[in-house]
Amino acid sequence: MKLFCFLLVMLVIPLQRAASASAGDTYKQNEQGLEKQFDAFLKAYHKGDDKGMEEGFAVFRIPKAKEWFADHFSAEDAAQLSGAYDKQVTDAQNSLIDDLNTADPGSKFHLRCESRGEVASGTGKGGSGGIQPVKPVQVEQFVMEFVSGNGKKFLFIANFVYLDGAYRFVGGGGGPFWVKM
H helix runs in the chain, sequence order: 2-23, 31-37, 39-47, 50-58, 65-72, 75-103
**pLDDT for the residue 24:** 65
**pLDDT for the residue 129:** 61
**pLDDT for the residue 21:** 32
**pLDDT for the residue 5:** 33
Domain boundaries, the chain: 28-180
pTM over 0.85: no
**pLDDT for the residue 4:** 35
- Phi and psi (nearest 5°) for 26? -120, 150
Closest CA to 125 of 81, 171, 74: 171
pLDDT along the chain (181 residues), means of 10: 36 34 75 98 96 97 97 96 95 97 95 94 57 94 97 96 97 91 82
Three-state SS for 137?
coil
- What are the Cα distances from residue 154, in Å, to 38, 48, 110, 135? 15, 19, 11, 35
**pLDDT for the residue 121:** 81
